[in-house]
Amino acid sequence: MTSYLRILSIACLSLFMVAGCSSSGTSDPSSASQNTTSQNRTASEDETYDEESIGKIASDWLGAGAESIGKVIEKAFKDHGRPNGYILGTEGSGALIIGLRYGDGELVHKIEGNRPVYWKGPSLGPDIGGNASKTFTLVYNLYDVEELFQRFPGVEGSIYYVAGITMNYQRKEDIILAPIRLGAGLRLGANLGYVHYTKKRDWIPF
């Protein structure tokens, strides 16, 4: 069993090294121009969602108490202000030191409307277990929905927990995502990785 875990750990470390090189080592010219859309912009109130509306939508979707959800939403608004989109989704994940996460849902954007979205990603850490759950993700500084479809690293130390609900931040350039999850099988170790958002379902985890 010990040797099996060592093999899995080595495989996962290799996967992260390859993913890191492809996502941060070199950047193509298109990525530079792509990111200019989101930089140095401040959305107006007409282009964003207010805290009360977001709290109600999140509570209805997750089936959680308004008070508990309200505390998590309040934290996100305090940290990053008003979002200009959100994702209603479901996901499944599992891990034995090395973890995988797959999800799908619908992006609701204040200006550009709705569209389907999928995500996947590996993780590494002291993490054993599995779960399936609904997710509600706040989306910040996304002015072109095409910019969502890339890898978003987790922000280290950003996990916020209250009453069985967790929220953490993922960030790529100026775009910030705040996935909110509800349930006992939260698997906090899954935060030590990245999430790749795609236009179509893809089972390859990187």
Residue 144: which residues within 8 A CB-CB, separation 6 or more?
A: 34, 37, 38, 112
Task: Give the CA count within 13 Å in the CB-facing half-sphere of 117.
Answer: 28
In the chain, the amino acid numbered 155 is: V
Of 133, 195, 194, 139, which Cα lies nearest the Cα of 164? 133
Of 95, 102, 105, which Cα lies nearest the Cα of 126? 95
What is the DSSP track for 24-90? II---HHHHHHHTTTTT----GGGS--HHHHHHHHHHHHT--HHHHHHHHHHHHHHH---SEEEEEE
Per-residue pLDDT of the chain in tens (206 residues, 90 and over written 9): 433 334 334 334 444 343 443 333 333 434 334 444 444 566 678 899 999 999 999 999 998 777 889 999 999 999 999 999 999 999 887 766 677 889 999 999 999 999 999 999 876 555 556 667 889 999 999 999 999 999 999 887 778 888 778 899 999 999 999 999 886 444 544 455 789 999 998 877 66
